Amino acid sequence: MLASIFVFDGIRALARPEERAEAVRPFTDRVTPLLERTDPRLPTDPVTLVRAKAAADVLAGLALATGRFTRLSAAVLAVGLIPHTATDKGDRDHLLRNLGLLGGLLLAAADTEGRPSLRYRTTHAVDRSQRSVRRAVRTAKREARIAATAAATARRLPG
């Protein structure tokens, strides 16, 4: 449900990017020098930028809605919502709606769906392997002591 607004808004922007391009022109005028310094091949015209963001919204929204790459898609949508909120000349209701969406996306981006996070899994895998190594060292030392005792006993036996 959270993704639906991004999918429909993205489809609307893809169908008529010129309407949204005029609204974001002040923002793109400020961002254009940064884009040109970063990489001169990046598009800087507002219509292309609106289309790119709309395509990202549709793809990430569909991924979020279908449960594919949920954390990544929620993060992409959250990052894209920030300039959208900055360029939205709407009233307080639009701002509050966008903040509510941003909060939901941040929760979705942080949610591990009941599975441990990558950091948790990595830390515990390292801990388990360290315990296994310590156990193997203790076993090797014990086996070496037993072998040394057996060898010493064997030397004392006649024959």
| 140-158 residue pLDDT tens | 999 999 999 999 998 888 8
Amino acid residing at 78? A
86 and 13 in a common domain: yes
CA-based nearest residue to 54, from 101, 9, 97, 2: 9
The whole domain housing 97 covers: 4-110
Is pLDDT above 90 for 54? Answer: yes
How many structural domains comprise the chain? 2
Interval 75-109: pLDDT, tens: 999 999 888 777 776 678 888 888 899 999 988 88
128 and 86 in a common domain: no
Contacts of 45 (CB under 8 A, 6+ apart): 21, 28
151 and 101 in a common domain: no
51 and 66 in a common domain: yes
Backbone angles phi, psi at 87, to 5 degrees: -95, -10
| Confidence band of 52 (pLDDT split at 50, 70, 90) | very high
41 and 65 in a common domain: yes
What global pTM score does this model have? 0.65
| Residue 139 burial class via C-beta count within 10 angstroms: exposed 0-12, middle 13-18, buried 19 and up | exposed
127 and 85 in a common domain: no
55 and 122 in a common domain: no
8 and 70 in a common domain: yes
Give the residue from 110, 128, 148 where a domain finishes: 110
